[in-house]
Structure 1
């Protein structure tokens, strides 16, 4: 029977909880959560562990880390081959009417009758 559900989970049943997935999500959120940190100068700063780690990296490594993180937030673009050659013949309404009437198209203009 087409359209009738014959097996599997019932509609609306939530996915099974995965404790490892929950742990990883919690850990990741905590890594980016801003915290108060006492710096070397004795002043309090609000920074996440991620910000601290980024400050410790060399500029080129920091750029590479940012680029790798962006891969998770931007869609991958696929290369597409396109044939840009268009074979178009320009025809006026008069040309189309001649064809419909059964007349052959003239390459010469009708205005040049001498």
Structure 2
């Protein structure tokens, strides 16, 4: 049963703790980056570790591309050209009657 919301945060208002936590983490990372240690520590890693970390970080700055399955067959592999033409002709005639 849905009731009317009478108190608490309004819809869409960010949580103060979450906002403060994000700001603190952003500040620590910013300081780490500006000190030059981030890049030097990154370069000390093995190449495979660098690629793994770079891949994990990229998801925060680049949108993920969804994979798409493409079926080029259309399910008509066993139909002859004549069958396809008849089917198209019937479709065309139906459209003309509308």
User: Which has the higher Rg, Structure 1 or Structure 2?
Assistant: 1
Higher RCO (CA < 8 A, seq sep 6+)? 1
TM-score under structure 2 length normalisation: 0.50
TM-score under structure 1 length normalisation: 0.45
Return the structure number with greater strand share.
1
Return the structure number with greater helix share.
2
